[in-house]
Amino acid sequence: MDMQIEQQNSRLRSADNPKINIPIPENVLRRLLELTSDNASRPSNEWMDFASCSTLEPSVMYPVDDLGIQTAKECCEVCPVRAECLANSIINKENYGIWGGLTPSERNKLTRKLPTLRIIK
Ligand code: SF4
Q: Which atom of ligand 1 is nearest to the CA of 89?
A: 4
- In tens digits, what is the pLDDT along the chain, a chain of 121 residues? 344 455 443 433 344 555 667 889 989 999 999 998 888 887 689 999 999 999 999 999 999 999 999 999 999 999 999 999 999 999 999 999 999 999 999 999 999 988 887 655 5
What spacing in Å lies between the alpha carbon of 121 and ligand 1's midpoint?
28
Task: Output the pTM of the full model.
Answer: 0.83
Q: Which atom of ligand 1 is nearest to the CA of 82?
A: 1
Q: pLDDT tens digit string along 29-60?
A: 999 999 988 888 876 899 999 999 999 999 99
| Count of helices and strands (H, E) across the chain | 4, 2
What spacing in Å lies between the alpha carbon of 11 and ligand 1's midpoint?
28
Is the CB–ligand 1 distance for residue 99 below 6 Å?
yes
